[in-house]
């Protein structure tokens, strides 16, 4: 996996500042396919995932002024937008209730235009923390995140009995949390 090339935090800030379409294009090219992949992995049909990935990117454009790099890096911000849109979609699709709550649309004030990139740096350190997990723990963490039925996926991919998966998962998460704490 090559490291990401662009500084997406700056690109999003330039969307906010000057409605810059070229910046948006670069953000789109990197994130739209990944967001679509994220949604499909959570069990969404291809065509719906594609539509919601598109909606996620349009939300990035519309809400760019709310992006606060001192609170979350670009990837984290975009992931939470996609996550909330997916929840909205399922809650709406199931009838009876209409509008859902969307934490990303809560009463946040627009971010100051030149906020620092502290959080983006810490996202980089999160990448380092992930890289310093053992291969088995990294695999467990990825399955916990990416798979709908993580325990059976872990059992299968690591050849572990289902009974031991839970305790291994707990150890892996505990290790990850200690690494994250060390970064603070």
Partner 1 sequence: MSDLRHPSDETLLRLAYGSLGLGPSAVVGAHVAGCARCGGVVEDFERVAGALLELLPDADVPADGLARALAAIERDAPRPGEAPPAPPASRVEMPKGVALPQSVGDCDFSPWRTIAPGIRVSRARAHWARAFNVKLLSVQPGKRLLMHGHRGVEWTCVLAGAFHDGRARFAAGDLCEVDESVDHRPVVEPGEACVCLVAAEGSTRHHGMAGRLHQAIFGD
Task: Check residue 5 for interaction with partner 1 (CB under 8 A).
Answer: no
The reply to whether 12 sits near partner 1 by the rule CB under 8 A is no
Q: If we measure between CA atoms, which residue out of 63, 64, 181 comes closest to residue 122? A: 181
Tokens read off for 173? 């998460």
Compute the least distance from the CB of residue 95 to partner 1, in Å: 6
Nearer to partner 1 by Cβ, of 125 and 156: the residue is 125
Closest C-alpha to 165, from 155, 153, 156, 157: 155
Interface with partner 1 in residues 36-95 (CB under 8 A): 36-38, 40-42, 50, 53-54, 57-58, 61-66, 72-80, 82-83, 86-87, 90-91, 94-95
Tell me whether residue 77 or residue 155 sits nearer to partner 1 (CB atom). Answer: 77
For partner 1, the binding residues in 97-156 under the rule CB under 8 A are 97-102, 105, 110, 122-123, 126-127, 129-130, 141-142, 144-148, 150
Angle between helix axes 8-18 and 21-41 (nearest 10 degrees) is: 120
Closer by beta carbon to partner 1, 133 or else 156: 133
Contact status: 19 vs partner 1 (CB under 8 A)? yes
Encoding tokens for residue 51? 């539509």
34 binds partner 1 (CB under 8 A): yes
18 binds partner 1 (CB under 8 A): no
For 147-184, the DSSP string reads -SSHHHHHHHHHT--HHHHHHHHHHHHHHHHHHHHHT-
Q: Which helix (H) or strand (E) holds 71?
A: none
């Amino acid at each position: 996996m090559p490291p990401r090339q662009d500084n997406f935090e700056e690109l999003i800030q330039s969307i906010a500042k000057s409605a810059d379409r070229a910046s948006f294009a670069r953000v789109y090219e990197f994130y739209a396919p990944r967001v679509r992949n994220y949604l499909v992995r959570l069990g969404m049909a291809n065509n719906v995932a594609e539509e919601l990935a598109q909606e996620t990117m349009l939300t990035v454009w519309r809400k760019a002024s709310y992006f606060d790099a001192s609170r979350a890096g670009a990837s984290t911000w975009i992931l939470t937008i996609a996550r909330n849109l997916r929840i909205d979609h399922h809650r709406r699709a199931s009838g009876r209730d209409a509008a859902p709550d969307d934490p990303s649309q809560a009463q946040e004030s627009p971010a100051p235009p030149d906020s620092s990139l502290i959080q983006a740096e810490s996202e980089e350190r999160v990448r380092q923390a992930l890289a310093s997990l053992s291969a088995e723990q990294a695999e467990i963490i990825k399955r916990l995140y990416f798979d709908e039925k993580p325990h059976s996926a872990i059992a299968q991919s690591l050849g572990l009995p289902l009974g031991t998966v839970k305790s291994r998962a707990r150890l892996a998460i505990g290790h990850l949390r200690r690494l994250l704490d060390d970064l603070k």
